[in-house]
A and B are shown apart, each in its own frame.
Chain A
Amino acid sequence: MKVTVDHLDAHRGGRRVIKDVCLEVPTGAVLGLIGPNGSGKSTLLRALCGIDTPSGGTVRYDGIPIASLGRRQLAQRVAFMTQEHNEEFDMPVLELVLLGRIPHGKGFGRDSDADIAHAQRALDQVGARHLAQRSFSALSGGERQRVLFARALTQDTPVLVLDEPTNHLDIAHQLELLDLIRATNRTVMIALHDLNLAARSCDEIAVLADGSLVSHGSPEDVLGTELIRRVFTVESTAVTHPATGQPHFLFDVRTPRDEPQQSNALTTTPKGLSTP
């Protein structure tokens, strides 16, 4: 399913956070959304999947404006992987994953066998079948992300929107999750912090700075030391990865007027910092 974004504006807390963003993501492509903290990545993603209503512009899925779709119809087209979890009400993993079938079913009655099959297939896909009867709260960070991703898969939508799904994961789990995401063959829009990871895992990169789209294209075309300096105010060196031959960035010196926090957030994988 092709996603088209036209002149999108979004406000948050009375402030214009997304400014006139135009974007097109072809069917089956993985779009990586990068940008510094506070650049509007989360807000943009929330508008793209219809959780928040934009203040201007349109988002279309295969030409259909999402504003014209009912909530349920929308939920059959796009799944949004959130980091939310309420510790007070614990649930077994299978039950949590089965929530993904809500847009396809009735409001009451037992889960059908087909629903359960869907959920188990998704758990298989993310390698978490053995966790089905475990309580979600008792899982490790990596297991949680895999289960939440399984719920998004269970929703069985052509479009996936993921907001920093690699947060809190060690490098092995980050790579594993991104490979799972690539393997789904759905249209994916994903916010990422690690530029090298984004370059490796995405078909396209969109760069957001202060709410505006500053660049969009293939990772090779978009990512460069000049852009990294301009957007992230970090000096970097591009090297060629000896094994894959792909460009790889080494981050070294801060530009003089840089705020220390921002560059820290980039050179180390950020933890718990999310864009408002």
Chain B
Amino acid sequence: MKIIVGHMVPGMPWMSDGTLTPLQDSAVWQFRLPRILLAALTGAALALAGALLQAVVHNSLAEPYILGVSAGAGVGAVSFIVLGVGVSSLGIGASAFVGALIATAAVYLLARKNGRIAPQRLILAGVALGSLFSAITSYLTISTDAQNVFSIMFFLLGSVSAATMQSLALPVVALVGVGIFTALRARALNALLVGDDAASSLGINVNRLRTTVLIAAALLTGAVVAVSGGIGFVGLIIPHIARIIVGSDHRRMLPVAVLSGAVFLTTCDLLARTLAAPSEIPLGVLTALVGAPFFLWLLRRDRADSVGGGR
């Protein structure tokens, strides 16, 4: 804490009086702080992307990964590692981002018919392309040198441990940009939850809203996947929790989802770091360990509700 304040505010005594070793200083400022910030940003961004996708495809089981975006990012990153000029994290990030964008564009074009985006087709295209990309990734992984396999697995399983202050820039820009963009459309998204016709009759250009929100969610996912790798289930669980807490009105639900996402992933990262110390559990593994049972519980609960609470 002292160290963070010391970096922010010039002239704090403890920065120069020798009570802190340079090692402590760099451990916090260069490793811990960016790591925590990246975990928070990633959680917030994935939660927001998940909430947006669920609204535009009318399906509460949608999440960023269903679009095949993460699989596309995986192909990008793995290609870079395999063909690699060397293992630079910046290069991996950039190629993952490009892969994510290509995947999004492909899914988007496949899901389009007569100028309209059909939610069902979008999910199917995303799942199919996701499998294709995963297959390519797997092939690249087994056909490459053994030394590369570790970096590949590390990326695919997701981690925020490689965070630096520079690597935060892309997720910050994406989160702020998309955050403002969606805040202005929160009411329109509420109408979209009811249905396309209802939203149209309320004066909303449904197709344009769906397209722009989809692009926004893909950018957000691409930006964090490029930095943190494949972290699943955050985009699925957090919006549900937010809805349970404040209901489905996006004006309240989106901010809550963003905050809960940040808290959730920071906590997961803390556990990933400490549970099996000194070794580290990949973050993607931990979120899946928490996420999968939650998902199944949700499924059971929904069914119980529709039987018990039916009209």
A108/B251 in contact, CB under 8 A: yes
* Minimal Cβ-Cβ distance residue in A for B205: A71
B239 CB to nearest A CB, Å: 10
B203/A75 in contact, CB under 8 A: yes
User: Residue A138 at the B interface, CB < 8 A?
Assistant: yes
B183/A76 in contact, CB under 8 A: no
Chain B residues with CB under 8 A of A89: 55, 58, 60, 193-194, 243, 248
CA distance in complex: A75, B243 (Å): 28
Chain A residues with CB under 8 A of B193: 86, 89, 91
- Contact (A99, B195) CB under 8 Å given A51-B200, A87-B306: no
A138/B188 in contact, CB under 8 A: no
User: Residue A259 at the B interface, CB < 8 A?
Assistant: no
B187/A108 in contact, CB under 8 A: yes
A82/B195 in contact, CB under 8 A: yes
Chain A residues with CB under 8 A of B280: none
Report the tally of A-B residue pairs with Cβ distances under 8 A.
100
CA distance in complex: A49, B200 (Å): 10
B203/A88 in contact, CB under 8 A: no
User: Residue A92 at the B interface, CB < 8 A?
Assistant: yes
B191/A99 in contact, CB under 8 A: yes
User: Residue B198 at the A interface, CB < 8 A?
Assistant: yes
Q: Which of B183, B202, B251 contacts A75 (CB 8 A)?
A: B202
Which residues 182-216 of B have a CB within 8 angstroms of A?
Answer: 183-188, 190-191, 193-198, 200-205
Chain A residues with CB under 8 A of B247: 91-92, 95
User: Residue A110 at the B interface, CB < 8 A?
Assistant: yes
CA distance in complex: A72, B191 (Å): 13
CA distance in complex: A95, B249 (Å): 8
- Contact (A82, B201) CB under 8 Å given A89-B193, A91-B193, A92-B247: yes
- Contact (A74, B195) CB under 8 Å given A91-B247, A95-B247: no
CA distance in complex: A199, B184 (Å): 46
* Minimal Cβ-Cβ distance residue in B for A92: B247
- Contact (A51, B309) CB under 8 Å given A89-B193, A102-B191, A108-B183: no
Chain A residues with CB under 8 A of B191: 99, 102
User: Residue B59 at the A interface, CB < 8 A?
Assistant: yes
Q: Which of B55, B186, B188, B248 contacts A90 (CB 8 A)?
A: B248
A96/B202 in contact, CB under 8 A: no
CA distance in complex: A22, B250 (Å): 42
Q: Which of B193, B243, B309 has the most CB of A within 10 A?
A: B193
User: Residue B113 at the A interface, CB < 8 A?
Assistant: no
Q: Which of A76, A91, A139 contacts B248 (CB 8 A)?
A: A91
Q: Per-residue 0/1 for A120-139: is the Cβ within 8 Å of any B Cβ (1 yes, 0 no)?
A: 00000000000000000111
User: Residue B300 at the A interface, CB < 8 A?
Assistant: no
User: Residue B301 at the A interface, CB < 8 A?
Assistant: no
* Minimal Cβ-Cβ distance residue in A for B186: A108
A-B contact pairs, 26 of them (CB 8 A): A71-B200, A75-B203, A80-B197, A80-B200, A80-B201, A82-B195, A82-B201, A84-B196, A84-B197, A85-B195, A86-B58, A86-B195, A88-B59, A89-B55, A91-B247, A91-B249, A99-B198, A102-B187, A102-B188, A102-B190, A103-B202, A107-B184, A108-B185, A108-B186, A109-B251, A137-B309
A residues near B (Cβ < 8 Å) are 46, 49, 51, 70-76, 78-80, 82, 84-92, 95-96, 99-100, 102-103, 105-110, 137-141, 155
B residues near A (Cβ < 8 Å) are 55, 58-60, 183-188, 190-191, 193-198, 200-205, 243, 247-249, 251, 306, 309, 311
